[in-house]
Each structure stands twice: as C-alpha cells, then as structure tokens.
Amino acid sequence: AKERGKNNYQFYSSDLNGLSTRKMELENGLRRAIEQDEMMIYYQPQVDLSTGELVGVEALLRWKHPQYGMISPLEFIPLAEETGLIVPLGKWVMRTACMQNKIWQDSGFPAIPVAVNISVRQMEDEYFVDSVTEVLQETGLDPQYLELEITESIVQNIEKSTLILRLLRLIGVKLSIDDFGTGYSSLSILKHLPIDKIKIDKSFVDDIIYHSNQGAMVKTIIDMGLNLNFKVIAEGIEKKEQVNFLIDNACQIGQGYYYSPPLSVEFMEAYLAQGVSG
Ligand code: C2E
Ligand code: CA
Ligand code: CA
Ligand code: CA
C-alpha cells in the first residue's frame, strides 16, 4: 500500500495482513485462472444513438474466483499488469473475443466489430503486433471486426506507439482511444495518430446531467473528434437526457446501462437474436 497520507497509511497498516494475503492469493490465482476456466468475457452493446441499432460490442473481462466470487477487473487488471501476466491474459481475451465474434457471424448475426481493451504494458511487449496477427489467423476473423481500445497514456512514448499503431492499421484492425479526456494528450499529438475513433469517458457523460457545466466538455470533445474525422462514442450513458444531449451535439454512438449492462454470452445471444427478428 502506498503512503498517501497519515490516515490512509494507518488504515492500510492496521489491515496490512488481510490486504496482502488477498493480493497474494489473487496474484497466484491469476496464473492458473485461465487454464482453470475461471476467466470469462461479458459483452456490452454499443448502439447507434439515433436508431438504437446495434453497431458493436465491447469485451469486458470477468474473473469468477473460487473463494472470492466475482472480482472486478479494476482490482485484478492492475495486478496482472504488475506481474506481466497481462500479456498472456490480454492475448487470451483477444483470442476468445475474436473467436466468439466469428461464431456469431458464422451463425448469421449481422457482422459487427468487437472492441478489446489493451493495456499499455501489453502494447509495449515486443510480440504484441505478432500476437494480433496470430489471433486473427487462428480465429479467421476479418481484421475490420476487431477494434483495439487503447488509452491516451501511449503518448508517453509517442514515437514507438505511432509505429505500432501504423503496423496495426496495416493489419486492418480498428483503433480507438479509450477513456478519452482523462489523460494528458494534446490535440496536436492526437491528430497525427492513425486512429479511427475516440471514446468519451463516462465522467464527462455524467457532467451532462449531474454537473453545472452541463456537458460543455462533451460538446467540445465531440466537435473536436468530428473535425479530425474520428468516430465518436460516448460511454456510461444511463439516462435519456444524456442520449438527447448527445444526439443534439452530433455524437453517433453510445454505450451504457441505459441500453444494456455487459452481458454473458448467453444473454448477448438473446440480445442479438432480438435484433434479427425485430
Ligand atoms: P472501461 O474500458 O472504461 O470500461 C467501461 C466500464 O464501465 C466497464 O466496467 C463497464 O461495465 C462499466 N459501465 C458500462 N456502462 C456503464 C454505465 O452506464 N454506468 C456505469 N456506472 N458503468 C458502466 P468493468 O467491466 O468493471 O471494467 C472496468 C475497467 O477494467 C474497464 O474500464 C477497463 O479499463 C478494464 N478492463 C476490463 N476488461 C479488460 C481487459 O480485457 N483488458 C484490460 N487491459 N482491461 C480491461
Ligand atoms: Ca474500454
Ligand atoms: Ca479503460
Ligand atoms: Ca472509462
């Protein structure tokens, strides 16, 4: 635990044994979780805001731990990053999501891209681009139906990142900047990156209804994104008022509990089937 302040430190130190035991058990468990089938992927629909039509899904990792039950990726992804296990785990997510998407396309559902979250640590791995190629070959998914969600933190190593993004573009996958607006990247840097889409972070989408600036930032981000010819998607939409605001300001795509929570494969298939029939 970091020593962020006296109170925090005392809190952590009094609970240090409990915390480190759980952390150690999760770290050890991570190594076996994939083989033991404890990891699974949920899929959250992304929709066209004007028509409600399904235009994509985001793959979100879930860990059903034998002792602790469902664990949030917010807790175990950082552990996987620290230990380097994010590299094999991330590849598993990419492979599983591509395989699932291919199965859905082959069974007659409309072809849509699956978006997969990529950690910086994963992109820094020298075999990352190879692993993307390998997964696409293995699964037979057309590259245009895989979208990689990367964060603004890639700008910290802009030259290397740009090179990797160019290679990924050549392969034919789509690239999206996740949690947009929460990092420190400037517009002048972003406009040179070979990306397709920006994803406006939930915190800004919340501002539309919960804060006094009433969506001023969202409006700015949408305008900027569209001017640079990026697609713009808003995440974390929970209310009709947010949908209306986003449509009024020309945002095309959205994702959030208002439309659907992340769904298990079974429930996602029911969602897909509904779209086909009606
Ligand atoms: P994210 O990429 O920003 O994903 C969106 C998160 O917001 C997801 O949480 C999703 O379930 C949640 N969400 C979606 N709509 C709403 C809404 O309307 N309201 C609220 N309150 N929440 C909403 P989740 O699934 O717990 O994932 C948390 C984070 O963990 C993700 O944030 C992402 O950064 C990371 N993550 C998840 N799966 C993976 C993965 O396979 N690889 C990596 N590297 N990171 C992952
Ligand atoms: Ca994401
Ligand atoms: Ca993220
Ligand atoms: Ca986010």
How far, in Å, from the CA of 90 to the mean position of ligand 1?
14
Parallel, antiparallel or unpaired: strands 253-254 and 197-200: unpaired
Q: How far is the CA of 30 from the centre of ligand 3 (A)?
A: 20
Q: For position 189, what pLDDT does the model report?
A: 78
Strand partners, 70: 64
- What ipTM was predicted for this assembly? 0.98
Distance CA 43, CA 268 (A): 7
Query: Residue whose CA is closest, atom 6 of ligand 1?
Result: 236
Residue that is written with structure tokens 């079974």 in the block: 266
Can you read off the two tokens belonging to residue 177?
């900047």
Residue 18 has a pLDDT of 65
> CA-CA distances (angstroms) from residue 162 to 126, 168, 232?
14, 10, 20
Specify the pLDDT at position 12: 44
Dihedral sign, CA of 180, 184, 185, 188? positive
pLDDT score of 212:
75
Could you tell me if the CB of 61 is within 6 A of ligand 1?
A: yes
Q: Could you tell me the two tokens for 187?
A: 């517009």
**What letter represents residue 121's amino acid?**
R
Q: Which residues contact 66 (CB under 8 A, 6 or more apart)?
A: 29, 38
- What does the pLDDT read at residue 213? 79
Least distant ligand from the CA of 204: 4
Instruction: Tell which residue, 104, 32, 51, 89, has the closest CA to residue 263.
Output: 104
pLDDT at 9: 41
Per-residue pLDDT of the chain (278 residues; tens, 9 = 90+): 444 444 444 444 445 566 678 888 898 899 899 889 999 999 999 999 999 999 999 999 999 999 999 999 999 999 999 999 999 999 999 999 999 999 999 999 999 999 999 999 999 999 999 999 999 999 999 999 999 999 988 888 888 999 999 999 999 999 999 998 888 777 677 888 899 999 999 999 999 988 777 889 999 999 999 999 999 999 999 999 999 999 999 999 999 999 999 999 999 999 999 987 64
Q: Indicate if ligand 1 lies below 6 Å from the C-beta of 117.
A: yes
Nearest to 235, CA basis, from 249, 246, 244: 246
Answer whether 175's CB lies under 8 Å from 195's CB. yes
Structure confidence at residue 35 (pLDDT): 87
Nearest C-alpha to atom 21 of ligand 1 is from which residue? Answer: 236
Cβ 257 under 6 angstroms from ligand 1: yes
**Angle between helix 16-33 and helix 73-83 axes, rounded to 10 deg:** 80
